[in-house]
Amino acid sequence: MNSQVEDLRRENARLQRAVGELSMLNDLARDLGASLDPDKIMNKIVRQAIKAVDASQGVVTLVNEAEHSSLKTLIRTSSASGERRSFHLDESVLGWMLINRRPLLLNSPRADDRFKGVRWDESVQTLLAAPLMVKSRLIGVLAVYNKRQGATFTDDDQRLLSIIAAQSAQIVENTRLYEEEQTLSRMREELELANEIQTGLQLKDYPDLPGYDIHGISEPARSVGGDYIDFFPIPGNRYMLCVGDVSGKGLPASLLMANVQATLRSQAVWSASAAECLSRANAQLCDSVRRGNFVTLFYGVLDHASHSIEFANAGHNRPIIVKADATTFELELGGLVLGVKKDFPYSQDSVALDSGDALCVYSDGIPEAMNLQRQQFGEERLLRVIVEHRGASAEDLSRAILHSVHDFVGQAQQHDDITLLVVKRVA
């Protein structure tokens, strides 16, 4: 009779415990489903785990599967430790979990042969850990420490913690994916902004200049790059023309480019010569450009009354002039890139344009365009296309060059922006 009562009592206690567990798991599921905030979710999991197994502290450690070394895997821990210092899951324990992928119960961690070398925090008495698995991948570890009242963790505790871990894993993974998605979308926004800035700066219309045919093309690479093209009227019935390349990519490059355009347009108005303009722009940029950034730039001033171009070059590829009789030459005068050395003395040269001459100013994205065999398009190919299409309009010549580069590159991914400005004297 007594033993029957005892059995009933035990059964009753087991059922009560089961009901408690179920209601706890139900709470957990409900709470976790309600939030996508990773910190809140981790905290909730840790708090529930602590409560469920009557532990003093808990921590969730996420591992990054891309990096297999356990040293680098700790990306976030969340602990609910009240006043006490929170623990970090020991690397040896994390390593053991990475290999074994099953719950770990350590009621006397210091006596355990598997963790002999570990220097346990002195307040760690007992430890229970369960893997967070998603589709047989370990994404993290849920660990609790120090069963209350100096007790030890039981098999029931282990079972319960495993259930909590199993329930939480997919949700933790979801928040991580959500976070990644957020980061990606921020990056997309930044790129769009950079694109907008760049598009706003790009030349849309070319002036209808009597006797001249002018066309520019700028084709950004995969991400927003830093090529720059401008054609702008300045006093004295002249036009400044520029092709530049700003170091770096993305938003910083776009902002630097905006800075360069503003600087040049303002200096062009105030400068008596091309060299003076570059010197002034360089001094100004040296003050405002972040260390390690620089700008290559070809700067020319077209005087369409005298049919001459005065130019200075800050480290940019040498432009090519093709004449009607198919001879070509480069504008050789060079100079230091902008934004590096304040007192660099720029010099200038000038070139006369005869009827039929075309000036091609391009960015290094053209000669350096690479095909799948890792060969470069090169300057010789460029020259051949320019010569072949010298009779075409500025727009057709630009397109011919672009097509030729595309044909050459084939399926290879474009590494750099392609920018080209053609100024052709037609009469």
Contact flag: residue 248 with another protein (CB under 8 A): yes
Supply the minimum distance, in Å, between the C-beta of residue 58 and another protein.
35
Supply the minimum distance, in Å, between the C-beta of residue 401 and another protein.
19
Cβ closest to another protein, residue 90 vs residue 416: 416
Contact flag: residue 221 with another protein (CB under 8 A): no
Q: Where are the beta strands (DSSP E) in 124-280?
A: 127-134, 137-147, 212-219, 227-234, 238-246
The residue type found at 39 is D
Supply the minimum distance, in Å, between the C-beta of residue 286 and another protein.
7
In the 8-state DSSP scheme, what is residue 150? G
Q: How far is CA 276 from CA 267, 304, 340, 344, in A?
A: 9, 20, 17, 11
Q: Which stretch binds another protein (CB under 8 A): 32-40, 59-67, 108-116, 242-250?
A: 242-250
Distance CA 255, CA 128 (A): 52
Q: Which of residues 189-208 bind another protein (CB under 8 A)?
A: none
- Per-residue binding string, another protein, 363-402, x by CB under 8 A, is ----------------------------------------
Among 157, 173, 310, 416, the residue binding another protein under the rule CB under 8 A is 416
Supply the minimum distance, in Å, between the C-beta of residue 293 and another protein.
6
The residue type found at 269 is V
Q: With contact defined as beta carbons under 8 Å apart, do 297 and 316 qualify?
A: yes
Tell me how far the alpha carbon of residue 300 is from its chain's centroid: 34
Among 58, 131, 226, 319, the residue binding another protein under the rule CB under 8 A is 226
Supply the minimum distance, in Å, between the C-beta of residue 215 and another protein.
25
Supply the minimum distance, in Å, between the C-beta of residue 267 and another protein.
20
- Per-residue binding string, another protein, 87-116, x by CB under 8 A, is ------------------------------
In the 8-state DSSP scheme, what is residue 338? B
Contact flag: residue 243 with another protein (CB under 8 A): no
What is the per-residue DSSP string for 65-102?
A: TTS--GGG----EEE--TTSPPP---HHHHHHHHHH-S
Cβ closest to another protein, residue 9 vs residue 342: 342
Supply the minimum distance, in Å, between the C-beta of residue 335 and another protein.
6
3-state secondary structure 21-46: HHHHHHHHHHHHHCCCCHHHHHHHHH
Supply the minimum distance, in Å, between the C-beta of residue 371 and another protein.
15
Cβ closest to another protein, residue 296 vs residue 398: 296
Q: Where are the beta strands (DSSP E) in 107-136?
A: 127-134
Number of residues that bind another protein (CB under 8 A): 28
Q: With contact defined as beta carbons under 8 Å apart, do 394 and 231 qualify?
A: no
* CB environment 366-390: b (16+ within 10 A), e (fewer): bbebbeeeeeebebebbbebbeebb
Distance CA 320, CA 388 (A): 14
Q: With contact defined as beta carbons under 8 Å apart, do 172 and 41 qualify?
A: yes
Contact flag: residue 317 with another protein (CB under 8 A): yes
Contact flag: residue 245 with another protein (CB under 8 A): yes
Cβ closest to another protein, residue 157 vs residue 417: 417
Contact flag: residue 44 with another protein (CB under 8 A): no
Cβ closest to another protein, residue 157 vs residue 416: 416
Q: Which of residues 324-363 bind another protein (CB under 8 A)?
A: 334-337, 340-344
Q: Where on the chain is the footprint of another protein (CB under 8 A)?
A: 226, 245-249, 286, 291-294, 296, 314-318, 334-337, 340-344, 415-416
